[in-house]
Amino acid sequence: MARRGMERWRDRLALVTGASVGIGAAVARALVQQGLKVVGCARTVGNIEELAAECKSAGYPGTLIPYRCDLSNEEDILSMFSAIRSQHSGVDICINNAGLGRPDSLLSGSTSGWKEMLNVNVLALSICTREAYQSMKERNVDDGHIININSMSGHRVVPQSVTHFYSATKYAVTALTEGLRQELREAQTHIRATCISPGVVETQFAFRLHDKDPEKAAATYEHMKCLQPEDVTEAVIYVLSTPPHVQIGDIQMRPTEQVT
């Protein structure tokens, strides 16, 4: 059933990056339920293909289109937008969800780990944002929406050395979202930019951050009732369902038991 305010998005196209697992998969599913065409991209698309089949079997009114894309490679991103343009006309909603953390501290971390985080968390987000805006502009879409899935780590620095560089990339997302909002106003468009910043969400994130210490990763989620991907999805749907004149800059959300 369509949520109030979501009717205007029916049959329009949303791009969701990092759609194979966690928040991205949950957002993709929810948008298909609301009748959108969703291009879900990730480096591997097996999970997205399975999710697309589930959505079809469930009779959801929208469609999920899997697309393989290495977001650390600009050429892959540009090829994806070119394919969207030729096959589906263009992007109306861009949800920059893909992100990763590597356990590389400031004093002893590897440059390769830092670059990996920068490439996906900052550069890929910026490239997708630029290309989505250009897609909207060339089709005279004036009510599009760009949503950056950020983190509470983009608003405070916790005393855990393995998250400090990751936190820096998320502070960048906070600045990029506000900068985008200002540039969209300067361009005299009604395209909106929003940041959603969750705290601890129970996904595979900690297991990838602590890939050599699965017990430590599991402990991240065991000491509190964590947010679930669907909680973040609710925030995405809320943002999209607000009237076009309403600009939501940032939603910060955390488990009630999370201290910082």
CA torsion 8→246→180→255, rounded to 10°? -100
* pLDDT, position 220: 81
Task: Report the pLDDT value the prediction gives residue 95, as an integer from 0 to 100.
Answer: 98
Q: Which of 144, 126, 237, 128 is nearest to 184 (CA)?
A: 144
Q: What pLDDT, on the 0 to 100 scale, is given for residue 186?
A: 98
238 belongs to the catalytic site: no
What DSSP line would sit under 12-29, residue for residue? -EEEEESTTSHHHHHHHH
245 closest CA partner among 205, 190, 198:
190
Please list the residues that pair with 47 across neighbouring strands.
none
Q: How far apart are CA 27 and CA 4, in angstroms?
A: 17
pTM of the model: 0.96
Residue bearing tokens 């992007």: 91
pLDDT at 253: 96
DSSP per position, 32-52: HHTT-EEEEEES--HHHHHHH
Query: What is the residue extent of each domain of the chain?
Result: 9-253
Cα separation values, 184 from 91, 188, 194, Å: 16, 6, 12
Q: 15 - beta bridge partners?
A: 39, 94
**Are 183 and 135 a contacting pair, CB within 8 Å?**
no
pLDDT at 208: 80
- The catalytic residue among 67, 166, 171, 238 is 166
Task: Say if residue 193 is exposed, middle or buried (CB neighbours under 10 Å; 0-12, 13-18, 19+).
Answer: buried
Query: What is the SS3 assignment for 121-164?
Result: HHHHHHHHHHHHHHHHHHCCCCCCEEEEECCHHHCCCCCCHHHH
pLDDT at residue 259, as a whole number? 77
CATH number of 9-253: 3.40.50.720
Taking only the tens of pLDDT, the chain with its 260 residues reads: 678 999 999 999 999 999 999 999 999 999 999 999 999 999 999 999 999 999 999 999 999 999 999 999 999 999 999 999 999 999 999 999 999 999 999 999 999 999 999 999 999 999 999 999 999 999 999 999 999 999 999 999 999 999 999 999 999 999 999 999 999 999 999 999 999 999 999 888 887 888 777 788 788 888 889 999 999 999 999 999 999 999 999 999 999 988 77
The tokens describing 205, both together, are 């994130």
